[in-house]
Structures are given as C-alpha cells and as structure tokens.
Amino acid sequence: MTTRRVFMMQSVVGASALASGVAMAAAPMVAETDANAKALGYVADATKTKNAKFKAGSACGNCALFQGKPGAASGPCPLFAGKQVSAKGWCTAYAKKA
Ligand code: SF4
C-alpha cells in the first residue's frame, strides 16, 4: 500500500468522524409542543413550569438522565431520542443526579 493511499484512507476516516460529530451537535432541541414533551410536561425553562411536581432547583442539567457534558447548555436525554433538552429545562420524569 502506498503512503499516499494510507493518507487518503486516514482522511476519509477523519472526515466521517467529523461528519458524525457535526450531526450529533446539530441534533434539534425538543419543542415543548412535541407530543412526548407534552406527555412528560417538558419545559425548556424549568422556572416557567406550573407543574405541581416541580421542586425549585430541579433542571435537566442536574437530572440523572441528562447526558450532556457538565456545564453544557443542552444535551441528549434518553426520553427524547435524537433530540436535545435544555440544561435549564425540566420534565416530570426528573430524577435528581446522585
Ligand atoms: S428526564 Fe431529566 S434530563 Fe430528561 S427531560 Fe426530564 S428532567 Fe430533563
């Protein structure tokens, strides 16, 4: 295998890794109007909820299900596959991170 061919293959691998990274970053935010968001009482701003289950200080960012990086403004939640929730959001499935 020539050096040039190895270089080209590495470039292809690098480009696809980059593409998948971009795709993850571009995951759309959950809309409060989505059917499952309504079912779970999701709000993008926890302070705006009028749900009786809400306890002050609860938010996606400190929920055990939140999969965003610490300090990230948004991240994935397994309850909303393929979408991102706001770190300041909240839903009725909230579980305090241990
Ligand atoms: S389960 Fe947790 S992280 Fe997911 S939307 Fe509800 S409060 Fe946010």
Q: Is the CB of 65 under 6 A from ligand 1?
A: yes
Instruction: Quote the CA–CA distance of 94 and 46 in Å, as a whole number.
Output: 11
**Domain-wise residue ranges, the chain:** 28-86
Quick one: which atom of ligand 1 is closest to the CA of 92? 6
pLDDT for the residue numbered 36: 97
- pLDDT of amino acid 66: 98
CATH tag for 28-86 (out of 4.10.490.10, 3.60.40.10, 3.30.365.10, 2.60.40.1180): 4.10.490.10
pLDDT of the residue at 85: 98
Take atom 4 of ligand 1 and give the residue whose Cα is closest.
77
| Residue 63 dihedral angles phi and psi, to the nearest 5° | -95, 145
Helices (H), 1-98: 3-25, 35-40
pLDDT at 92 (0 to 100): 98
Give yes or no for a contact between 32 and 43, defined as CB atoms under 8 angstroms apart: yes
Q: How many CA atoms lie within 13 A of 98 on its CB side?
A: 0
Residue 6's pLDDT is: 52
Name the amino acid, one letter, at 57.
G
Partners of residue 74 on adjacent β-strands: 86
Q: Are 29 and 75 in contact (CB under 8 A)?
A: no
Q: Ligand 1 pocket, 44 CB below 6 A?
A: no
Average pLDDT of each block of 10 consecutive residues along the chain (98 residues)? 52 47 70 98 98 98 97 97 98 97
